[in-house]
Amino acid sequence: MKISSDNFSGGMGVFAAVVEAGTFVGASDALGMSPPGVSRAIARLEKRLKIRLFNRTTRSVALTEGGRRFYEQVMPHLTGLEEAATAAAGSASAVRGRLRINLDPVLYRTLLGQPLDDFMRTHPDLEIELIARDSLGSLVVDGFDLALRFGELRASTLVARKLLDSAVVTVAAPSYLARCGRPEKPEDLGGPGHSCLEFRNPETGKAFPWEFHRKGRRIAVETGGRLTVNDPSALLNACLAGSGIAQMLLLGAEPLIGDGLLINLFPECMDERYPLYAYYPTRHHLPAKTRAFLDFIVELLTSGKTVSKATRRAGSSTVRPSAR
């Protein structure tokens, strides 16, 4: 028997209410419907099933044999649907389950550590899976709940929320400067006396261009670096080892600059900004686990513990044209 799904589940709900109340009037009170509305719903259901469900009198209703069999068959399914709906509603308000995050590799150093440990202790029923990817990809197809990506806003059907703008900083280790000297101006990096570490843009396959921004002026330098990497950790480790000069986000470099492990070579040329966006499939009925993690990220990145005023400040500053 092929039955249209139009209002069918609603009709079964009315049917169950009549059985439980014992009268059409009682069902109408329980459902907030008018008695004629209840009668029409039952009539439509009987027409679709091609059986009579109730024997009606002026004072009461009673299930027919066919109605009783139908009730016994559908009630377990109706109960299961109610339980599933209750569980789904609970997941919308409870921070629990698995949260899969497409993570820009630059964020690993910022996220991992005590703040994330504290967040997970606060939500003991939550599991977090951080997957480092060099691009956004397809969030839904790849099974991610959330993506945190640096770079220009991507054109997509995803909801995008800007979290911050990070300054771009040019740094070197003290050991490198002791060996090669400190450059006086950005143009010095294009000469033979300095080695620059190149970082490959995963979108284009080419190294990011070296740019310096100050008071609306843009300086582009051809560095001709001999070592190119595509992993932020490799770039950072090579720079810390004294292998060369690197450009990176202040978000990751700031603690190392503060500890003296890296030197900010051109603090006057830090007007360039690189945005961080959160992407998620929909703004409607956002799961509590996603909302809680976004709140945690915003608090972490704007609390001053990991990010300076130069990183937090957004505005009309320049953004690299390449998205990551």
Does residue 314 register a pLDDT over 80? no
Q: Is the pLDDT of residue 29 over 80?
A: yes
Task: Give the residue, 71 or 129, on which the prediction is more confident.
Answer: 129
Q: Are residues 70 and 136 in the same domain?
A: no
Classify residue 148: in a domain, yes or no. Answer: yes
Using the 3D structure, point to which of 93, 127, 162 is the last residue of a domain. Answer: 93
Same domain, 206 and 103: yes
Task: Examine the fold and report which residue of 66, 93, 120 is the final residue of a domain before the chain moves on.
Answer: 93
Q: Is residue 3 in some structural domain?
A: no
In terms of domains, do 253 and 307 share one? yes
Q: How many whole angstroms separate alpha carbon 100 and alpha carbon 204? A: 26
Neighbouring-strand partners of residue 319? 273
Whether residues 249 and 146 fall in one domain: yes
**Same domain membership, residue 70 and residue 135:** no
Instruction: Give the whole-angstrom CA distance, residue 318 versus residue 215.
Output: 10
Q: Is residue 150 part of a domain?
A: yes
Contact 225, 198 (CB under 8 A): yes
- Which of 302, 308, 300, 297 is closest to 130 using CA atoms? 297
Same domain, 88 and 14: yes
Question: Structural domain tally of the chain?
Answer: 2
Average pLDDT in the 238-265 region? 94
Looking at the structure, tell me whether residues 129 and 223 fall in a common domain: yes
Residue 85 is predicted with a pLDDT of 64
192 and 169: one domain? yes
Q: Classify residue 2: in a domain, yes or no.
A: no
Q: Identify the burial level of 171 via C-beta atoms within 10 angstroms of its C-beta, where 0-12 means exposed, 13-18 middle and 19 or more buried.
A: buried
Residues 156 and 279 in one domain: yes
List of residues 6+ apart from 306 with CB closer than 8 A:
110, 251, 254, 255, 300
Which residues fall within 8 angstroms of residue 292, CB to CB, at 6 or more apart?
Answer: 95, 123, 126
pLDDT over 80 (residue 170): yes
Classify burial at 166, counting beta carbons within 10 Å of its beta carbon; exposed 0-12, middle 13-18, buried 19 or more. buried
- Asked if pLDDT for residue 141 goes beyond 90, the answer is no
CATH code: domain of residue 321 = 3.40.190.290
pLDDT of 36 strictly over 50: yes
Instruction: Tell me what the mean pLDDT of segment 306-322 comes to.
Output: 38
Task: Read off the DSSP letter of residue 51.
Answer: S
Mean pLDDT of the chain: 82
Same-domain check for residues 89 and 99 = no
Q: What is the pLDDT of residues 172-181, one digit of tens each?
A: 999 999 999 9
pTM: 0.64
Token pair, residue 64, equals 């027919």
Instruction: Provide the pLDDT for residue 70.
Output: 84
**pLDDT at residue number 302:** 77
User: 29 is in which domain, residue-wise?
Assistant: 8-93
| 82 and 109 fall within a common domain | no
pLDDT digits (tens, 9 = 90+) for 267-311: 999 998 889 999 988 766 688 899 999 999 988 887 755 544 444
SS3 139: coil
- Neighbour tally for 149: CB within 10 Å: 25
Last residue of a domain, one of 46, 62, 93: 93
- Residue 113 resides in a domain: yes
Quick one: how far is CA 252 from the chain centroid? 20
Residue position matching structure tokens 């490198």 = 176
- Fill in the DSSP letter of residue 203: T
Q: Please write the tens of the pLDDT for every residue from 260-269.
A: 999 999 999 9
Query: What is residue 3's DSSP assignment?
Result: -
Instruction: Give me the CATH number covering residue 42.
Output: 1.10.10.10
Residue 241 falls within a domain, yes or no?
yes
Looking at the fold, whether 216 and 317 belong to one and the same domain comes out as yes
**pLDDT band at 6; cut points 50, 70, 90:** very low
pLDDT in tens, 206-222: 899 999 999 889 999 99
Residue 56 is given by DSSP the state E
**Strand ranges for the chain from DSSP E:** 54-56, 61-63, 97-103, 126-132, 146-150, 159-172, 197-199, 210-214, 217-221, 227-229, 246-249, 263-264, 272-280, 318-319
Is 1 inside any structural domain?
no
